[in-house]
Structure 1
């Protein structure tokens, strides 16, 4: 009987030890939700009177998006499924409600291969408002690519240098029905990135983009974005500065100053005229308490030509529009 009890205890100890030694599955769930209130200060409150770039287009109380991210990290491989619901996500993603869906393989300590749908590597801003300082988005963001479907390879060349190479469908295309592909590259150095994109003209044609930033002091940060895109004479170029000052652990104030110009009769600003330019100034405060961030925002858009997006107090096309937004973003 003693032998039976001893043997049972040995099995139990072995099972407990095996459970303690077995690596836990690295599954994680995260995400965000956001909502906002917006009103125009210099024109009627309607959908026509809003910058075409803002991704906060509705007036009154409105919804942004719900973002849920599930990921699994193995020893060398992993997968990410990132789904989005809501107007902000629909404007950037289109069908399937899929922001990202990809698998990756850490081939070595310095090389990672990723295949599937992933957010673009170009630009300073991203789709999720939780990762941007300003709640509304820049013209450079809304004109550039949002996501890519393809295969990319990331190389850590040293502690400071990185390189990414990619072959993809044309930007923001899930199903390749034409046989056209795009090439991408990114060279990084100490948090500064020079980005390249090229397709045969089916989408963007050629784009070069610089994204970076500098901590000028413990409380002052300056972000920078500049881009040039050309598709047989149609395209854009512009630059934006993002100075941000942290006044306390919970509050930061920042300004986005952006100059943007269309090349040719691109027409997306809303003028339908050639070589239209716009100057956009966005002042944003960011107050955080636990996982909630409150962002009051004042924005002024000024165009070189009358725009169907920038309406005056009588609802007629105008060269300027001022607006105010108050956003709530929760991250978990």
Structure 2
């Protein structure tokens, strides 16, 4: 009980400090005040086939029955010269996202992002610290995802990085980014003296992302190339795309692609799908096993009112081999009902 009380006290102190900083700026009438935002999400999940405790080998939304997502609290400030972001998470979704922590700090597993940036010019921005990955179509926060569960492509790519990145706006439609970072998801520190390099080129709504570097002393370098895009086909119809290839020589990897069509039925009501193909390399698998492939078909209905979003999701995972229900079935169907509140 003392340990739990101490953790609750720490969380309360952090929240009060953020609120006090926000209030102090507001009372002083400063234009460049600290903005305070966040979200809360929770859900119910059940399988329509197979063992009730079975779940796809993708991240988040994989607990049975009524379950918790996370609390997300973010403080940020942006000025003409630069700014910062302090992004904290509490709960199962946050814990899964920061799986490599706590490593050095006892509270390292609540820090989702922590970085400062400098606007060196109108075109160049330098960022130092811990930031969420630039690869993939989906993100950690359910606020910014249409579907509540996540894809395999997102789940087995990076979640977060700690390092230095430079973003340069070539024009209104083109951008380029270069980053030097710790090994993937080692966000608190770098005790192996290895570095990973990242590159992103953006044109319109399409981004080409590259990641390269050794992730462990006794491993070969990991190479990943990733393409993402988001397009408005009409006022009511949109399409997202993601394709990725990831390989660590002699250790395996994966490749695949996903489409994200969505349509607005009426104000506040949206329907969407995720159709994904995910293939593990013959040299080594990352999810179900070497050479295995899986198709994820997810149908989602979303209802949004003010700051609350309700999400109903039907998902079917079809594998090339028996990987579900104690290795006796090649498919798993599930249902999720989630509530996401943003503030």
Alpha-carbon distance between aligned partners in 2 of 1:236 and 1:316, rounded to the nearest angstrom: 21
Residue in 1 that maps onto 2:242: 225
Which residue of the partner structure matches residue 117 of structure 1? 130
Q: Name the SS for the 2:96 alignment partner.
A: helix
- Measured after TM superposition, the shift of residue 267 of structure 1 is 4.0
Instruction: State whether structure 2 residue 228 is matched by structure 1 residue 211.
Output: yes
**Structure 2 residue 210 is the aligned partner of structure 1 residue 196:** yes
Matched, 1:176 2:190: yes
Q: Please give the alpha-carbon distance, in whole angstroms, between the structure 1 residues aligned to 2:95 and 2:256.
A: 25
Q: Secondary structure at the match of 2:61?
A: coil
Q: Deviations over 1:228-274 (max 9, x none)?
A: 0110041100000000010011011000000000113534323x4x2
Q: Which is higher, the Rg of structure 1 or of structure 2?
A: 1
Q: Is 1:164 the equivalent of 2:177? A: yes
Alignment partner of 1:55 is 2:60: yes
Tell me the CA shift for residue 316 of structure 1.
5.0
Q: Is the 8 A contact 1:201 1:231 kept in 2?
A: no
Q: What's the CA shift string for 1:89-137, capped at 9, x where partnerless?
A: 1111132111100000001111100000000000000000110000000
- Greater mean deviation of Cα atoms: 32-41 or 258-267: 258-267
CA–CA distance in structure 2, aligned partners of residues 20 and 130 of structure 1: 30
Question: How many residues align structurally?
Answer: 305
Q: Distance in 1 between matches of 2:134 and 2:84?
A: 18
Aligned to 1:15: none
Assess, with a 3 A threshold, how the Cα gap between structure 1 residues 190 and 59 changes in structure 2: closer, same or farther.
same
1:79 positional shift: 1.0
4+ aligned runs moved over 4 Å, structure 1: 19-23
Q: Quick check: which one's strand share is greater?
A: 1
What stretches of structure 1 of length at least 5 have no aligned partner? 1-18
Per-residue Cα deviation, 1:30-75 (whole angstroms, up to 9, x for no partner):
00110000110002311xx100104111111000000000012233
Structure 2 counterpart of 1:327: 338
Between the aligned partners of 1:267 and 1:190, the Cα distance in structure 2 is 34
SS at match of 2:231: strand
The aligned counterpart of 2:287 is 269
Q: Secondary structure at the match of 2:31?
A: coil
TM-score, structure 1 normalization: 0.88
Larger RCO of the pair (alpha carbons < 8 Å, separation 6+): 1
Deviation of 1:177 (Å):
1.1
CA deviation after TM superposition for structure 1 residue 317, in Å: 3.0
Q: Which moved more, 1:122-131 or 1:229-238?
A: 229-238
Q: Equivalent of 1:256, from 264, 270, 274?
A: 274
C-alpha separation in 2, matches of 1:159 and 1:316: 51
